Each structure stands twice: as C-alpha cells, then as structure tokens.
C-alpha cells in the first residue's frame, strides 16, 4: 500500500509538468475536459473488457455527487483560480484537502478519530507546502476562497466514498464518477471558455498521459488506497504530490529551486511522518497516550 501511494504521488507530481506543457497547447479548461474525457473512455473500455457490472441503483446519487465534487467543481475551481493567483498558491490551497478530510472523518467516520498528533502533522505539512512552493498571499480574498473550496470539494467526495461507497468496486466507482464529472467539465468549457487549441503529436501525448495515466490509472489507485487506509493517513501522504511537482519542474522545465523549498520539503516529510507513525503505548495494558481532538 505504501509503494502504491508513493507511485501515485510520482504520477500526479510529474503531471504538473505535463499540465504546464498541455496548457500551452490548449485553454486550461479544455485541457482538463480532454484529460478526463480520455480517462473516462479508457475506464469504460476497461469495464467492458473486464465485464464490470453497473453500479447499484441506490449508489447512483452518491456517484453523481462524487463526480460533481471531485471531477467537475474541483477542476473548474482550480482553473478559475489559476487565472487570478499563482500556481504555487493554488496548489497549496488545493492540497490543504487532508486537513478538511481529516476533520470531516473525525465526526462522520467511525474509528477515524483525529488526534492532536495527526492534526499537528497535517498543519506542519501544509506550512511546509507554503515554504516549498514559495507562496505569497496574493489576489483577492474571494479568489483564494475559491481555490480553497477546491480542497473542500475534493474532501467531500472522498468522505462520500469512504462513508457510502467504501465497499464498491474501485474501477466501477472511478469510471462512473469521472464520466459524470467530465460531462460537467465539458459543459463549462463549451459555455464559458474561449481560446484556440493547437493540435500536434506532443499535445496528444500530453492528453494521453494526463488522461490514461494521471486520471484513469491514478484515480483508481487513489480510491483503492483511500478504501483500505485511514482517511487522514491516505490524504496527508499526497502532500508529496506538489513537492514532486516542484522537483519535476526544476528537472524538466528549468524552474528555480531555492533553499526555502528544500526546508519546506523537509517539513512536509516530517508532517507525513507524524500522521503515519504508530501511536505510543504505555504499560502492559497498552494505554494510548495520544489524545483525540475534541
């Protein structure tokens, strides 16, 4: 499970480079719509080949909500935010998702209590992200709130999956929520976005990587990890994604890499360790010394 999480972080982290290149060829909303359309078609083909059954009728309302929150609104909020605030700030606001998911899980998911140690680790990781991404608070309050809402939207979708669809087939769930969300993305792009697309061999490669690898495969992996791991532990681990994105940008896009970035990365790693390390026990009766957040 740990290897799968790390592999997932590398896929999503490197996809920052691919998305940057893809946004040079397509309007941002159009690229996101093409990415998830490709991912949806890929997953539908997998479902047909593996004869994955249709979801239960009772599950469709949850699939629709997950599709709207995790694929449609999540990506629309990010694309609008990127028009007004920096990519670094948008990334940090989006990847504050573990904090919101952990708080939600504390109140709505049995056996997923948020301890002070976990809360400290999550906050430390997010502070580390601010440093690593060289973030300065710029732009209007409402735009930053919109960027933050992408994290809340993603957290809500994950909470619905953990609470209502935990035992669903992960391929089935990912296929339907992504397909439903893609419809919303396509409608947004057609109605509100303008700009020209520049097709070619490499733009197609960007779409295929982002769609097949970073969407279809990666979200199946993410849902599998989330299904079998505590929400706080699974979500805080993906704080590595923007860190790998920074390193990838330095290696492949000649972006700058500062000492503060390295220090921020260390804070992120320490935060992840705090959340994932096992609680201490005392005495033979193994009484936990960690305290739950009230």
Mean pLDDT score, 91-119: 89
Q: Where would I find the H helices in the chain?
A: 2-25, 28-50, 60-66, 74-82, 87-94, 97-108, 116-132, 141-164, 170-192, 201-208, 218-228, 231-237, 240-252, 259-276
**Distance separating the N- and C-terminal Cα atoms of the chain:** 30
Does any domain span residue 293?
no
In a domain, 140, yes or no: yes
In the chain, the number of structural domains is: 1
Q: Which residues, 6 or more positions from 144, have their beta carbon under 8 angstroms from its beta carbon? A: 81, 85, 89, 93, 137
CA dist list (Å): 99 to 10, 231, 272: 21, 10, 12
Residue 186 in domain: yes
User: b/e string for 140-155 if b means 16 or more Cβ within 10 A?
Assistant: eeebbebbbbbbbbbb
Residue 288 pLDDT level (bands cut at 50, 70, 90):
very low
pTM of the model: 0.88
Mean pLDDT of 91-100: 89
* Residue 292: pLDDT band with limits 50, 70, 90: low
3-state secondary structure of 161: helix
Using the predicted structure, report yes or no on whether residue 140 has a pLDDT greater than 60.
yes
pLDDT of 289 above 80: no
In a domain, 22, yes or no: yes
Output the average pLDDT for the chain. Answer: 88
Q: Which residue has the higher pLDDT, 86 or 13?
A: 13
Residue 281 CA to residue 23 CA, distance in Å, equals: 50
**Residue 9's pLDDT is what?**
94
Residue 71 scores a pLDDT above 60 = yes
106 assigned to some structural domain: yes
Domain range spanning residue 186? Answer: 2-288
And the tokens for 81? 């935010």
Cα–Cα dist 165/175, whole Å: 13
- Does residue 68 lie in a domain region? yes
Whether residue 80 is contained in a domain is answered as yes
Choose the most confident range, by mean pLDDT, from 33-37, 124-128, 133-137, 284-288. 33-37
Say which residue, 292 or 141, is predicted with more confidence.
141
Q: Which of 240, 244, 107, 89 is nearest to 151 (CA)?
A: 89
The pLDDT of residue 257 is 74
100: pLDDT strictly greater than 80: yes
DSSP state of 5: H
Report DSSP letters for 46-73, one per residue: HHHHHTPPPPPGGGHHHHHHHIIIIIII
Does 294 fall in a domain?
A: no
Is residue 290 predicted with pLDDT exceeding 60? no
Q: pLDDT at position 136, please? A: 66
Residue 80: its pLDDT value, please? Answer: 87
């Amino acid at each position: 499970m740990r290897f799968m999480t790390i592999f997932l972080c590398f896929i999503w982290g490197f996809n920052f480079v691919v998305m940057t290149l893809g946004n040079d060829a397509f309007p941002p909303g159009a690229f996101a719509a093409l990415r998830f359309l490709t991912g949806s078609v890929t997953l539908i083909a997998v479902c047909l080949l593996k004869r994955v059954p249709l979801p239960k009728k009772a599950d469709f309302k949850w699939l629709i909500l997950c599709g709207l929150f995790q694929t449609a609104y999540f990506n629309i909020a990010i694309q609008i935010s990127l028009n007004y605030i920096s990519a670094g700030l948008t990334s940090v606001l989006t990847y504050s998702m573990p904090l919101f998911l952990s708080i939600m899980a504390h109140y709505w998911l049995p056996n997923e209590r948020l301890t002070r140690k976990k809360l400290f680790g999550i906050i430390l990781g997010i502070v580390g992200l601010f440093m690593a991404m060289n973030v300065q608070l710029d732009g209007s309050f409402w735009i930053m709130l919109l960027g933050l809402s992408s994290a809340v939207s993603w957290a809500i979708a994950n909470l619905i999956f953990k609470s209502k669809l935990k035992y669903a087939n992960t391929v089935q769930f990912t296929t339907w929520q992504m397909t439903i969300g893609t419809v919303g993305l396509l409608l947004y792009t057609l109605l509100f976005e303008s700009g020209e697309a520049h097709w070619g061999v490499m733009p197609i490669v960007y779409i295929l990587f982002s769609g097949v690898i970073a969407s279809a495969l990666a979200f199946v992996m993410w849902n599998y990890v989330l299904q079998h791991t505590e929400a706080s532990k699974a979500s805080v681990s993906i704080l590595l994604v923007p860190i790998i994105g920074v390193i990838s940008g330095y290696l492949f896009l000649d972006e700058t890499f500062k000492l503060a970035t390295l220090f921020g990365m260390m804070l992120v790693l320490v935060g992840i360790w705090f959340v994932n390390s096992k609680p201490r026990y005392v005495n033979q009766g193994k009484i936990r010394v960690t305290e739950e957040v009230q």
